[in-house]
Structure 1
């Protein structure tokens, strides 16, 4: 299972990096997780829009889903006869985004399957077990399992004991770590720190950690130093073009 980082920032993109977004490839199936702001260009540098097999959206904040709209546009406006893109997202989370274009224009380009966090889904070769995690809006953490390999993804989340269950024995944990250590009061209960990730990744026995959703301007080295205070395994910060392969 190969993970390619399209971006690793939270909130908004910068001149050098997109928001959180990941291309997961396994057994020839290409799954796009969280196509946030500015992720489309690095995606198209690797695969054509038509080659994305499915999309999983953790929640409806635009730094996790905004570039779904131009991705669907790229498919519809180049080949209206092509198959619709399967999109899986929490119920109601994409209503506004998918309504910004002229009525009916994008409908041939996607097939939306809505779910309630906590449900189990099937996406190509993956069994996807979703988890309801605390955020300002409904947020689905998820375990993507295929051929005995597990990738766990938190979306955005405040502290929750469910994170240990999500990350249990994961081959790769992609974890939101907006701040290295202290979380501002305005974000308390809805976002995580790298220190917290280190603690629950260790308790869960996660084999490898990839930190994502850093606040623009946060030094990645500070995030790494913070997570390593509680986690001794291999850990990296999501950066443009980084590729992580786990399993066979």
Structure 2
């Protein structure tokens, strides 16, 4: 299994960066986890648009799904012969993105497969388990397992037992870490700090963690230092181009 980071900014992309997006590859299958602002240009430095095999969207906030529109446009009018793209999403989460173009134009290029958070299903060679994680809108974290190895991605979300259970004994946890140490009162329970994410990683027994969704302006070294207080394993920060094989 190979993970390539397309972006890890929260809310909006910093210069030369992108919001949430990850390319996961195994046995020749290419799956995208989220496609936030500016992730498509990052993706196209690795593979053409018509070589994406499936997309999984955690929730409907645009910093996690906006670039689904240009991806579908590239497949529709980019000269390739791409089949309809399987898109796994919670009900209604991508309605706004699909409505950006003239009605119905992109429908034939999108094979929308809605699920309920908590469902388990296969995506290509991956066994996927989903879980509803706390956020302002429904947000489905995901655990991907292939050949006995597991990767967990929270999307956005506040801390809680559901994250710990989803991440139990995983090789890698891609963890929401908008803030380094303290979550503001108006976001408590809906977003997570790096320190909180690390404590959950330790309780879940994960082997390594990747901090993502850092608020623009957050010092990544400060985020890692905060996480290090509560987690002794490898800690990285999601930056475009970072690749991990396991």
Q: Is TM > 0.5 for Structure 1 vs Structure 2?
A: yes
Whole-angstrom distance in 2 between the partners of 1:128 and 1:51: 21
Q: Quickly say closer, same or farther: Cα 1:80–1:99, change in 2 above 3 A.
A: farther
Q: Which residue of 2 aligns with 1:73?
A: 73
Q: How does 1:159-238 map to 2 (within 5 A)?
A: 159-238=159-238
Q: How does 1:140-151 map to 2 (within 5 A)?
A: 140-151=140-151
Cα deviations across residues 123-143 of structure 1 (Å, max 9, x unaligned)?
Answer: 000111000110000000111
The TM-score with structure 2 as length reference comes to 0.98
How many pairs align? 246
Q: Does structure 1 residue 158 correspond to structure 2 residue 158?
A: yes
Q: Name the SS of the counterpart of 1:88 in structure 2.
A: strand
Residue 221 of structure 1, CA deviation: 0.3
Residue 45 of structure 1, CA deviation: 0.9
Aligned CA RMSD, in angstroms, stands at 0.9
Q: Which residue of 1 aligns with 2:138?
A: 138
The answer to whether the 8 A contact 1:133-1:139 is kept is yes
Whole-angstrom distance in 2 between the partners of 1:143 and 1:204: 13
The answer to whether the 8 A contact 2:50-2:80 is kept is no
The answer to whether the 8 A contact 1:80-1:109 is kept is no
Q: Which residue of 2 aligns with 1:89?
A: 89
The answer to whether the 8 A contact 1:177-1:193 is kept is yes
Cα deviations across residues 36-73 of structure 1 (Å, max 9, x unaligned)?
Answer: 00000010111000000000000000000000010000
Whole-angstrom distance in 2 between the partners of 1:82 and 1:245: 27
Whole-angstrom distance in 2 between the partners of 1:110 and 1:189: 33
Q: Which consecutive residues of structure 1, in runs of 5 or more, have no partner in the other structure?
A: none
Residue 82 of structure 1, CA deviation: 2.9
Task: Could you list the structure 1 runs, at least 4 aligned residues long, displaced by more than 6 angstroms after superposition.
Answer: none
The answer to whether the 8 A contact 1:143-1:151 is kept is yes
Q: Name the SS of the counterpart of 1:19 in structure 2.
A: coil
Whole-angstrom distance in 1 between the partners of 2:149 and 2:219: 31
Whole-angstrom distance in 1 between the partners of 2:82 and 2:64: 25
Whole-angstrom distance in 2 between the partners of 1:171 and 1:62: 28
Q: Name the SS of the counterpart of 1:55 in structure 2.
A: strand
The answer to whether the 8 A contact 1:23-1:31 is kept is yes
Whole-angstrom distance in 2 between the partners of 1:100 and 1:151: 32
Q: Which residue of 2 aligns with 1:48?
A: 48
The answer to whether the 8 A contact 2:159-2:197 is kept is no
